[in-house]
Copies of this chain bind each other. A is one copy, B any other.
Amino acid sequence: MVNDLHRRLHEQGYDEIRPAHGCVFRFIEPTGTRLTVLAEQSGLTKQAVGEVADDLERLGYVERLADPLDGRAKLIRLTDRGARSRATAVRIMGEIEAEWAERHGEDAVATLREVLEAVTDERVPA
């Protein structure tokens, strides 16, 4: 799924986005999200996510704002371009899942999703 997503993202012109950037795109919220939160949710260190955020900032997909609620913190937020790319990614994943459903059945794909979510929830730690 991830391979296919990125192949298609590249075809759509988003050829700078790599799988590793997912730790930001997956968990970022419209109003902005703190680095620490992204790190926690993705199961990576703050440093790792920080590098990804640097990268995405350099590429113009996210920006950093001071967090009004905490002087230490910054909010990472999608730029317009970032939001568009994310929307494209969401659309593509929907398309891929639809293709899978066509080929293997809606029920099978629903089961796939359920079991996969369950087993990854049960044993999160890498």
Contact = CB atoms under 8 A, between A and B. Distances in A.
A58 interface: no
Q: How many copies does the complex hold?
A: 2
A69 interface: no
Interface string A88-126: 000000000000100110011101101110110011011
Contacts of A118: 103-104
A108 B4 CA distance: 24
Contacts of A107: 111
A31 interface: no
A1 to B, nearest CB: 8
Interface of A: 1, 3-4, 100, 103-104, 107-109, 111-112, 114-116, 118-119, 122-123, 125-126
